[in-house]
Structures are given as structure tokens and as C-alpha cells.
Amino acid sequence: MLENEMEESRSGTIKISDVSYDALRAFVDYLYSAEAWLDEQMACELLVLAEKYQVKHLKAYCEKFLVSKLNWDNLIVNYAFAHQHNAKLLLEATLSLILDNMDKLSKCQEYSEFIEKHPALLV
């Protein structure tokens, strides 16, 4: 990228615009230290970066963190996120909770709205 006729080679700068500064900083820090301080938002952002740049151990770390934070309030959102980002561990955990609690979940407004928007993900 920096060795050919692309804009980056002329300016000496690489612009990464699809991620927040904090997430990119945490990503680079992780690459150097193999440590990351996570909250749910940062775990999602880092998982996306880890998938994009194929940093499998970071992706797994973020998935495990998100699995540990699963609850009724974030179950549907995390299921969709896991499906979108091929996060198999998170997908399995959310799917298991969904299947175990389908009777309760099917009565929730959020679940009904989710199914209307994403019928292909119907369990």
C-alpha cells in the first residue's frame, strides 16, 4: 500500500475510516501486548476489526467476553451481531439461550420486531 502509486504512498498516511479512534488504538495496543480492556461496545468494535484483519485470538477473546455479558436485554442484538460477523461461539451461545427460552422470548416485542426485520434469521 505504501510502496505503489496509491494515495497512501504519496502522503505516507493510511486512513481507516470505518472504526473509532479508541477501537483502532485498542486494536494496535492488543497487537503489541495481547491485552485489551473491554466493555461491550469495545468488544463489538474489536471483534469487527479482528474479523477484518484476521486476528483470530482477538476475535475469540471478544466473543468470550460478549458471551459472558449475555442477558435478556442484549440477546437478540447479539444474535444478529454474531450472525453478521460470523462469530460462531457467540452465535451458539445466543442460539442456545433463544431455544431454551423460546416460549418467553416469543412474547417479547423486541423478538417480534426482530423477526419482522430479519425473517431469514428465524430460529
- Domain positions in the chain are 1-69, 70-123
CATH of domain 1-69: 3.30.710.10
Amino acid of residue 39: D
Give the separation between CA 21 and CA 68, rounded to whole angstroms.
Answer: 25
Task: Tell me the per-residue pLDDT of 26-75, one tens digit each, with 9 for 90 and over.
Answer: 999 999 999 999 999 999 999 999 999 999 999 999 999 999 999 988 99
What span, in angstroms and rounded, lies between the C-alpha atoms of 41 and 46? 9
For 15-27, write each residue's pLDDT tens digit.
777 899 999 999 9
Position with higher pLDDT, 53 vs 8: 53
Q: Look at the pTM and tell me if it is higher than 0.75.
A: yes
